[in-house]
Amino acid sequence: MTKLGIMIEGQEGLNWERWRAICTDVERLGFASLRRSEHLISLMGSETGDRDCIDCWTSLALAAEWTKTIQFGPMVSPLTFHMPAVVARQATAV
């Protein structure tokens, strides 16, 4: 059976209120997974640089708290953005 998931661009205006609603809706609608990008600024151009952007790993920790049935994780976690040891600790915590 095919399972569908959702991927969210966190840098395109995502805030904590929207993230909680997305987590709840993805689970309620029966999707199998929810994935996040880990871009730090908008990919849509410099004029959108003031858009909300939430931290990927923190948002995944909250997804674990708010949901019971979906799988979740980052699409990628670029080590060029962070120190590798910090990413390892964040992933372990989630």
Give the pLDDT score at 66. 96
Average pLDDT over residues 51-63: 88
Question: Is the pLDDT higher at 71 or at 92?
Answer: 71
Helices (H), the chain: 16-28, 56-66, 84-93
Q: Percent of the chain having pLDDT more than 90?
A: 48
Q: What is the pTM of this model?
A: 0.82
Are the C-beta atoms of 90 and 57 separated by less than 8 Å? yes
Place 50 in a pLDDT band, splitting at 50, 70 and 90.
low
Question: Is the pLDDT higher at 78 or at 50?
Answer: 78
